[in-house]
Amino acid sequence: MSEKAAKTASKDMQSVLTMWQERLRRAEEAYSGEQSRMLRREQLVDGSHEILTRDGKKAKKQAEHVRNVCFEVVETQVDSNIPQPKVTAIRQEDEGLAKLIEDLLRNLLDRLPMERINDEAERICPTQGGYGLLVDWDSGASGRGWMGALKVTLLHPRKIVPQDGVYQVADMDYIFLKDAQTKAQIKRRYGVDLESETEEDPDARALGAGASATDELVTMVTAYYKNRRGGIGRIRWACDTLLEDLEDYQARRVKKCRKCGAVGDGERCAFCSGRAFTEELQEYEELTEDLRTDRGTVIPAESAARDEYGQPVFREAAENRLLWDAEAGELLTPFGASPVLSGPVMEPTKVPYYKPDIYPVVLRKNVSKSGRFLGGSDIDAIEDAQNTLNKVSTKVNRKVLGGGSFTTVPKGVRRYVSDDDNVLLEVDNPAALQSIRTYNTQVDISPDMALMAEVYEEARQTIGITDSLQGRKDPTATSKVAKEFSATQAAGRLESKRTMKNALFQDLFEVLFKFMLAYADEPRPVIAYNEHGEKEYKLFDRRDFLYQDEAGEWKYNTDFLFSCDSSAPLASNREAMWQECRMNFESGAMGNPAELGTLVRFWTMMEKLHYPMAKQIRTDLQEELERQRMTQEAQAAMSAQAADPAALMGGGQMTPGAEIGGMTL
């Protein structure tokens, strides 16, 4: 590249960076009100001692004691359950693929750190009104026979800056993410030295806690946007340095040597030792041999070439050479006949790479609110109650600690009160005893305590939290059924929040599947369980989802419905499943509980549910059942022989050692 061209490219890159920085500034300005409230919410959950006045300003005095109802409300709603996938095929012939996707997603949930992510997210959601998850492909991860793996990152809402005026991620033209990166990481990945730069937005790292900038970190901004062709682009910068600008970042790319055109790794060409590489989009892969999928479909290594209109291109036959007019430069077709064609032109089959074309960010809302990017925050709903509790508890604290008692004694007497026992006190006359008195100066705090209890209950009822949900003693529910009903009713108040959590995972499952379809080149091992509870080993191969449309083009089948399995929480709770199975056994749903066959059936189910020693018990019962069967057969044979001995013994005598029904005579 010439010096002039390099300057022009640098100028264009700077103009692009300036444009995106201006977009970020406008988006942050519109989102600044929400970001400022995030700090207040975090402080309330952490037990802030600040007291606000009626006009919303901070009071000069702080609370001396805090009854932290905000923390209690957040912790009560923590749900450790991780929704499990349910995939439904639109077409009957795709049922096997739907089951494979479902098993793949279950394996991915086990591989990813979803337990740690969920535990932190469950506290962020009611506090801030929502959070996000970022799905990315880590090409550096590897294992036995595979390269690349999915990565899911939790996004605190402080790190997300949405487009102004748009409240659904899928509808946005662009969305910004801010994160702290070390200068060494930036240099290793992008080859840019930022040693002289400082961290621009420490609050993005400290989540609004007011942390100071450090010399080791910089703030990296990532913007995902929709490009002109409907794909997803990505641009990244730190400070005023552009790090990455990919107009279609989800498309496949290959690096080729500028000198010889060979594919390389971007460092040194293995053929000509060149160091200059160019990056090109790779939309197709060309097959070198026939490809057979698990569904029995065969993709041939060669297929007919097609023109720009999708029509096959045919090869001219040898007879056309006799009709060729060299001077006219055309085929002579007497009587208007068409040239003779021998067959279609064959070329290597091109199988396209799948491209998701969806934002890698999925969002969960706590409680949906119209016209808001995030949902409603529980802390915002009970902030006034927490502020009142801080005031009243401070007042009660001062009354109790400020009060006390004093004792009056006759004048001139220094010590009449002592904490010793059997103290001897001499008095001149009985009248002196009347002057020895103790007075209590404690103030009645019962009205204050009643107000605190009322405000506390008001805060809980605002969110929908009851004693049953918290595991407390509920005096209104006396029987077991009544207690279960009370807990169910309390859980019903929070059902919409669980629905929003399921909606997040529903979107996450779709993104995970599409990213695996796009970037998992090698078949991935998948552990599955059949209808008998037996373990099976499968392979997820993205080429199994290929199909040929009417125009002869190969495309990927993504017509699947993603949702959450409502039975998964019960299925994952082994103790609950043991109890459910035992109840079905006792109620006779499995057969007569007194019969040995029913016992075998019951312990077979308990073995599938991994009940301790269930396999040994089932084996013993099966052996006993087999012995009973053989005994019954022998008795039946003996009864038949007694009824017709000539038929059984051939009209002769019983032969010693003969076997009847498995028994030796």
* pLDDT value at residue 341: 56
Distance of alpha carbon 149 from alpha carbon 136, whole angstroms: 9
Q: Identify which has the larger pLDDT, 237 or 213.
A: 237
Give 589-645 pLDDT, tens digit per residue: 888 888 888 888 888 888 877 788 888 888 888 888 888 888 888 888 888 877 765
* pLDDT value at residue 441: 79
* pLDDT value at residue 338: 54
Give the pLDDT band of residue 17 (cuts 50, 70, 90).
Answer: very high
Residue 233 scores a pLDDT above 60:
yes
* DSSP H or E segment with residue 131: strand 130-143
Distance of alpha carbon 538 from alpha carbon 97, whole angstroms: 11
Distance of alpha carbon 603 from alpha carbon 625, whole angstroms: 13
How confident is the model over 318-323, as a mean pLDDT? 48
Distance of alpha carbon 365 from alpha carbon 348, whole angstroms: 48
Distance of alpha carbon 312 from alpha carbon 651, whole angstroms: 85
* pLDDT value at residue 325: 56
Tokens 């609370």: give the residue: 63
Q: Report helix, strand and coil shares of the chain as percent, to nearest 5.
A: 40, 20, 35
* pLDDT value at residue 159: 93
* pLDDT value at residue 490: 52
* DSSP H or E segment with residue 219: strand 217-226
Give 448-505 pLDDT, tens digit per residue: 899 999 999 999 888 887 766 665 655 555 555 555 545 555 555 678 888 899 999 9
Distance of alpha carbon 513 from alpha carbon 563, whole angstroms: 13
Residue 647 scores a pLDDT above 70:
no
pTM to 2 decimals? Answer: 0.77
Query: What does the DSSP 8-state code read for residue 511?
Result: H
How confident is the model over 238-256, as a mean pLDDT? 88
Give 188-199 pLDDT, tens digit per residue: 888 889 888 888
Determine the Cα angle at 373 with ends 371 and 376, to 5°.
80
**Cα 34 from chain centroid (whole Å):** 25
Among 136, 178, 188, 175, which Cα is nearest to 158's?
178
* pLDDT value at residue 319: 47
Give phi and psi for 524, each to the nearest 5: -105, 135
* pLDDT value at residue 59: 86
Question: Percentage of residues in the chain with pLDDT exceeding 70?
Answer: 79
Structure tokens given for 11:
């100028």
**Cα 86 from chain centroid (whole Å):** 14
> How many CB atoms sit inside 10 A of residue 317's CB?
12
Structure tokens given for 241:
């340095």
How confident is the model over 149-173, as a mean pLDDT? 93
End-to-end CA distance of the chain: 102
Distance of alpha carbon 169 from alpha carbon 2, whole angstroms: 42
* pLDDT value at residue 483: 53
Reduced to 3 states, what is the DSSP secondary structure of residue 88? strand
Burial class (CB in 10 A: 0-12, 13-18, 19+), 634: middle
Using an 8 Å Cβ cutoff, are 221 and 24 in contact?
Answer: yes
Distance of alpha carbon 197 from alpha carbon 174, whole angstroms: 26
Structure tokens given for 420:
């010793």
How confident is the model over 305-331, as a mean pLDDT? 59
* pLDDT value at residue 259: 75
How confident is the model over 206-235, as a mean pLDDT? 84
Q: How far is CA 196 from CA 186, 217, 325, 460, in A?
A: 13, 11, 74, 51
Give the pLDDT band of residue 109 (cuts 50, 70, 90).
Answer: very high
Residue 665 scores a pLDDT above 80:
no
Q: Identify which has the larger pLDDT, 352 or 292.
A: 352
Tokens 């009354």: give the residue: 399
Which residues lie below 8 Å from residue 423, measured CB to CB, with a gap of 6+?
none
Boundaries of every domain in the chain: 573-647
Give the pLDDT band of residue 267 (cuts 50, 70, 90).
Answer: low
Question: Percentage of residues in the chain with pLDDT exceeding 90?
Answer: 33
**Cα 660 from chain centroid (whole Å):** 64
Beta bridge partners of 263: 256
* pLDDT value at residue 245: 92
Distance of alpha carbon 313 from alpha carbon 345, whole angstroms: 6
Tokens 């599955």: give the residue: 528
Describe the crossing of helices 69-76 and 446-463 by its angle, rounded to 10 degrees: 30
How confident is the model over 416-440, as a mean pLDDT? 71
DSSP of 523-544 = -EEEEEE-TTS-EEEEEE-GGG
Distance of alpha carbon 489 from alpha carbon 535, whole angstroms: 38
How confident is the model over 515-529, as a mean pLDDT? 91
Give the pLDDT band of residue 661 (cuts 50, 70, 90).
Answer: very low
